[in-house]
Structure formats: C-alpha cells, structure tokens
Copies of this chain bind each other. A is one copy, B any other.
C-alpha cells in the first residue's frame, strides 16, 4: 500500500477543530476524509500530527494515510483543492516509506500566536488574532519568554488535570516580533501539551499588562497547578505553522 503525507493549511474559524467527532462534518479531519473517500473509493481514516482546537488555524498541519489508489501526486493535489471547501487547502502531497506515521514520528512543532495590540481594533485580522487594547510591556513579556525556554514540566501550563505520560517538554524558542500593531509570538518545542500555547500566551499577556508578576512562571513550573497561570488565550490567534519530523 502507498503511504501518503499531506501538508495542510486551514482557516479554523468555521470548524470544531481537527479531530473528527462521529459523523460530524464540522471538523477538518472529517472534511479531508470525505474528499479522500470520494477520490479513492476507499473508506480511509487519516492520522494527523495532533489535534488543533476549535477555531485554531494551521499553515502546515501534517497527516498521513494508506491507500491503494493509482492516482499520481499532482492528480491527488488538484482533486483535493478542487473538492475541499476553500478554507482548507492541501499544499503538498508526498509519497512516504511505509513506516512513516504523522503522530508518532513528530520531532517538534512550531506555533504562531498573533495579538492585535492597539486602542483601535482591526477589521481584517479580527478572526486571525486576539485583540488586546491595553498597553503591554514588551520587555516584561520578553523576560517571561526567557524564563519559559528550556526543559520543564509544563503540566501547570496545560489543560490536563494529571497525566500518566510525561508532561516534560523542551521549548527551544519563544520569539516576539512587532509588525505595526500586530505582535507575533513564535513557539518552537519538541511538543506541546493540550492548550499549552494558549495558556502560556494568556500568562505572558497577563504579565505584559501587569495583571500578573513575573514570579508566576516559576510558581506554576514548580507547583504544577494550572490555577496560578493566566487565562487561556482564545483559539483564533493560534496557528500551527510547521511540524518537524
């Protein structure tokens, strides 16, 4: 059987998230599977690199599936982009060795988070950023990011109550770029726990606005209690940029 890897871009606004829920048509996975079934005549389940929440976007989500279709890669690519809704785009179709698995083989991921920081809102980026009208202290937020970089148990910065699996992750980079009124945060790590980027963002922003002090980071990393961290920043500002294998 062939093992096909897809690189997928989507605007998550209209969807309940990546993962198919029963027969629901409101998930990215569900939409893609239904086009694959139409394309191959096979009933195929795809494996994503991981879930994304309702409303979260992706520039480079990855999934794979096994198929017996004889369609060429360019034929599949054009079939996908002809039949998928316009807010889901398959950017690449690749042929992989049989052992490739989109979730098990993940080595790391990059996420972006966008904050529109201006007294005046934005008409164009309103569904692709989180609107924060208050002034933010960029230097304080940089310090917060420095403290988060490295290998830590991030349980307190996740939506998990407890976990049998390890909740230790290594963050390689958190960068903040200012592009006019837009703040662009980039996170690179070997993995992220459930809602981790959004809770980190909520905490970083609360530090930037002065609602929380810098010491909260050490506190949450040591005590591993979600309660002390900031609120979960909304999904609409979050983009899965790239999955590393």
- Report A's interface with B, CB cutoff 8 A: 9-11, 57, 77, 81, 86-91, 120-124, 126, 128
Contact = CB atoms under 8 A, between A and B. Distances in A.
7 contacts: A77-B120, A81-B120, A81-B121, A86-B123, A87-B123, A89-B122, A124-B128
Given A86-B123, A90-B120, A124-B128, 12 more contacts: A9-B122, A9-B123, A11-B123, A11-B124, A77-B120, A81-B121, A86-B121, A87-B123, A87-B126, A89-B120, A89-B122, A91-B120
Copies assembled: 2
A126 B86 contact: yes
A128 B123 CA distance: 12
B120 A88 contact: no
A117 to B, nearest CB: 15
* Residue of A77, A87, A120, A123 ringed by the most chain B CB atoms within 10 A: A123
A11 B123 CA distance: 6
A6 to B, nearest CB: 12
A124 B57 contact: yes
Nearest to A89: B123
A89 B121 contact: yes
A86 B9 CA distance: 25
Contacts of A120: 77, 81, 89-91
A88 B124 contact: no
A212 to B, nearest CB: 26
Contacts of A77: 120
Contacts of A87: 123, 126
A123 B108 CA distance: 24
Contacts of A123: 9-11, 57, 86-89
